């Protein structure tokens, strides 16, 4: 990612109070709460797997009622986090957030 990408989080711009956001329709202006931004890094395990493949892997049905057209399967990754939690991530989202760890990088953590 480059530094030119749009920040989709509220970054301090915009109305400072809920009243300003509501165009002054509130009787009292309440300070608007802002979430802080955090950055982190972790090593996780992942393998390419479609959304339909993940459902089968987890013992779930396709989710579509029998006789109906199921939603198309999407490309993505099965992800196992350090605490053992397993989830599925769409390919585009995963590939923006993660890259494969090299042997040299892995050796730094051992």
Distances in whole angstroms, Cα of residue 46 to Cα of each of 1, 5, 64, 98, 105: 20, 26, 26, 10, 17
The DSSP code for 54 is H
Give the end-to-end CA distance of the chain in Å, rounded to a whole number.
28
Global pTM reads 0.60
| SS3 category, 78 | strand
What gap in Å lies between CA 56 and CA 78, rounded to an integer?
12
* pLDDT tens per residue, range 18-74: 444 455 555 567 778 899 998 888 889 999 999 999 999 999 875 566 666 667 899
* Residue spans per domain, the chain: 10-36, 40-63+72-110
């Amino acid at each position: 990612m480059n530094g030119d990408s749009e920040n989709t989080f509220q970054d301090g711009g915009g109305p400072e109070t809920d009243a300003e956001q509501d165009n002054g329709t509130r009787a009292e202006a309440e300070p608007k709460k802002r979430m802080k931004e955090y950055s982190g890094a972790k090593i996780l395990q992942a393998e390419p797997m479609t959304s339909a493949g993940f459902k089968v892997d987890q013992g779930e049905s396709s989710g579509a009622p029998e006789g109906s057209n199921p939603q198309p399967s999407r490309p993505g990754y099965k992800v196992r986090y350090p605490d053992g939690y397993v989830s599925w991530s769409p390919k585009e989202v995963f590939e923006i957030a993660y890259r494969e760890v090299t042997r040299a990088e892995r050796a730094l953590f051992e």
